[in-house]
Amino acid sequence: MKILTCNIRCFGAEDGPNNWIHRKELCIKVIRSQTPDIICFQEMWSEQFSDLSSAFSGYKFYALVDEPTGRRPMNCIFYRSDIYSLISAGGYWLSEQPHVAGSKSWESCCTRLANWVRLEDRATGTEFRVINTHLDHISQTARENQAKLIIEDSSAYPLDYPQILTGDMNCDFRNAAIDIFKAGGWIDSYGHVHGIEEPGYTYHEFLGPKYDSTIGKMDWIFVKGKLKPTDATIITDSAEEKFPSDHYFVSATLNFE
């Protein structure tokens, strides 16, 4: 299966010529060119969901909105409905009260949550789980505790159960939050395939190769259980120096063991 993690930069950002209305067609084109089976989005607002769910009509989707009365499916997961059937789905807030909508802790700047789906491959009957998240961008204490919550949740499943964790972790391989994921049994797909910890930045502020960054790859696809990464790519596609987002998207191709 091929899976993408895509931080698409929220609709409400004041980005001038890089506002969503000016780049949505490019975003759709870049994602389509990858022919993904599963797409995990971050920063998706309802306006973007409307555009992308129409563009990817062969996919079903799941998300919890982040705020109690909100409509923004921030960490939405799209999956091909001709290949996968849904077994179960859920989510939780990355806080000391994970069952309370909109809750946040540890000086987290934003409300953060994780959405998950359990899917079954229609052809083989193989089932697996996908978790999609977005850790806080300000508080290091929040990032570490948010990672611990995801570890606690994923550890409820058997060690060999196939699980995938995607998201914008707002930190690179040097950060303690990434160490927490790895200690919890998660394997970085990019590092496994290419044998390097740091391939370069994925956040680029719409500047692409012109961006000067002190933080490396912050967009991750982890695996655990009976899954083997066979390919991984940082997608740097652009058109006339315009980019589909302020992040590069990241892909991984995974095989069941």
Q: Which two tokens stand for residue 58?
A: 């062969």
DSSP code at position 8: -
Q: What is the dihedral of CA 246, 253, 40, 227, to 10 degrees?
A: -130
- Measured CA to CA, the distance from residue 19 to residue 8 in angstroms comes to 11
Total Cβ atoms within 10 A of residue 115: 27
Please name the residues in contact with 47: beta carbons below 8 A apart, sequence gap of 6 or more: 11, 20
* CA-based nearest residue to 102, from 116, 92, 89: 92
Residue ranges covered by each domain of the chain: 2-256
Kindly tell me the sign of the dihedral angle through the C-alpha atoms of 57, 60, 65, 68.
positive
Round to the nearest angstrom and report the end-to-end CA distance of the chain: 12
pTM (2 decimals)?
Answer: 0.97
Distances (CA, A) of 214 to 18, 171, 172, 204, 247: 23, 10, 10, 11, 15
Helices 46-55, 20-33: axis angle to 10 degrees equals 40
Q: What is the pLDDT along the chain (257 residues), one digit of tens a residue?
A: 999 999 999 999 999 999 999 999 999 999 999 999 999 999 999 999 999 999 999 999 999 999 999 999 999 999 999 999 999 999 999 999 999 999 999 999 999 999 999 999 999 999 999 999 999 999 999 999 999 999 999 999 999 999 999 999 999 999 999 999 999 999 999 999 999 989 999 999 999 999 999 999 999 999 999 999 999 999 999 999 999 999 999 999 999 98
CA R_g for the chain = 17
Strands (E), the chain: 2-7, 38-42, 59-62, 77-80, 84-93, 113-121, 127-134, 163-168, 187-188, 219-224, 227-235, 249-256
* 98 backbone dihedrals φ, ψ, rounded to 5°: -65, -15
Q: H or E stretch including 185?
A: none
Placement of tokens 């987002």 in the chain = 245
Name the 3-class secondary structure at 253.
strand
The pLDDT, as a whole number, for residue 197 is 86
Architecture of domain 2-256: 4-Layer Sandwich (3.60)
